[in-house]
Structure 1
């Protein structure tokens, strides 16, 4: 089985990053997409400890200090900057190809949020457009073996509750993924369940975090769930999303070293 997890780490400061590391270590996922990374010591600590344990880490810090995205893998990976050539905010997207039985490419995204200020709306629209343009530029076979995940900062048209002020281009992002045969993993397995991954101050929940799978991978989906322990334990203000796929993993190439041990040795 191949296990994939995405979690918004909320630009964790060092004390919370240490606790996040322990939670991630207890799960032992093959692939982890971390969103809302930062250029601060908390993100540096998380990624350094993963590298020290022998995991593959792909992360390009934003030169302007913007928040970003990283992929951590217990399986050997090859970075794919070529897939991000047209992305407007390259620090918020990361791509790797995983050396599984048949090569799988993983694209992690941290989409900008927007409070309706014109500059923020334009930033978000341009990023979403550039991501979809990049996906359309892939061959059908490449998209079929693609996993996309992260904090998209969008909701579906039929989301309950509604989110006031959402614009058409924000809803269209999920529509475009579906049109490209990238299936919403949780919706595919739980079509009648309204999941939430972030709870606002007023108590309303919204599903901002996702995992999508290409046409060759979707039939192998075994599970996809929202894990609220990170929120409940105040490790993040987001739930994690975890999925498993019935795919062969060569455990001879997988790193099994515990991250907590690497932390204890630091």
Structure 2
């Protein structure tokens, strides 16, 4: 454990972070794929996150190792409550939901994957179930397609069961879903029918694409590779909350500064 981590655990973080009282009037939500959260970039990730002054952080591709654990410890030492699912010996990545200023409780599902986490927040407009999801990456192979399809089927079944069991609580799903919306521009052959069906299936839970709600003709992309960019990171919100969505978009500085290979996605609920 580094001296900085120990200092934070004993005395609290020295970082300026969002005030607890913001939660009394706004949900400031940010999702970011932290690209494995290696030790070499951990401080940069934290400094950037704190500087955004968001009070709900959904972090995906958090590595299940010492560096990933220390990232979570740093968040907790700064006053955030972190919700995540225990990882097994074969798990490599997890999703983490870190909140500040809220009463929050983890929500269990029948699926044990740490790539899926659900936190119930007591917001100023009532309870809200925030789902953090890091879906299986498109590895451009037959095996990858099979693994992705099976994972998507499990997750959709799990969230459908959750929706049925908690029908009175609004739902918000966000993270690196590793799929594209139908009609994605630019057109690509990298994804298959089951990928688009997964995105549509999530919307079928009574959700709307927050980015599309605010930017019907938006052209933002959240990840770039050698062959171009794709909008892989999404935020899907309960239809009943669409009137509270004051803003939603992508923040590209975290990617252009090479803190992550993904842009962050943000939303404001009032």
TM-score (norm. length: structure 2): 0.84
**Distance in 1 between residues matched to 2:86 and 2:165, nearest whole Å:** 30
Given the superposition, is the C-alpha separation of residues 232 and 165 from structure 1 closer, same or farther in structure 2, using an over 3 Å criterion? closer
User: Which among 27, 34, 51 is matched to residue 59 of structure 2?
Assistant: 34
- Provide the secondary structure at the position in 1 that maps to 2:96: strand
**Distance in 2 between residues matched to 1:152 and 1:54, nearest whole Å:** 28
User: Does residue 1:76 correspond to 2:103, yes or no?
Assistant: yes
**Distance in 2 between residues matched to 1:60 and 1:125, nearest whole Å:** 22
Contact 2:58/2:97, CA 8 A, preserved across alignment: yes
Count residues in correspondence: 241
Aligned to 1:258: none
User: Does residue 1:65 correspond to 2:88, yes or no?
Assistant: no
Report how far residue 12 of structure 1 moved.
2.0
After TM superposition, list the pairs within 5 Å mapping 1:187-206 onto structure 2: 187-202=212-227, 204-206=228-230
Report how far residue 178 of structure 1 moved.
2.0
**Distance in 2 between residues matched to 1:201 and 1:31, nearest whole Å:** 32
**Distance in 1 between residues matched to 2:233 and 2:122, nearest whole Å:** 25
Q: Which has the higher contact order (CA 8 A, sep 6+)?
A: 1
Of residues 135-144 and 96-105 in structure 1, the stretch that sits farther from structure 2 once superposed is: 135-144
Given the superposition, is the C-alpha separation of residues 165 and 24 from structure 1 closer, same or farther in structure 2, using an over 3 Å criterion? closer
Aligned to 1:210: 234
**Distance in 2 between residues matched to 1:99 and 1:14, nearest whole Å:** 33
Root-mean-square deviation (Å): 1.7
Given the superposition, is the C-alpha separation of residues 94 and 141 from structure 1 closer, same or farther in structure 2, using an over 3 Å criterion? closer
Deviations for 1:67-112, whole angstroms, at most 9, x for unmatched residues? 121110102210001xx21x3x611100010011310000100001
Structure 2 unmatched ranges of 5 or more: 1-25
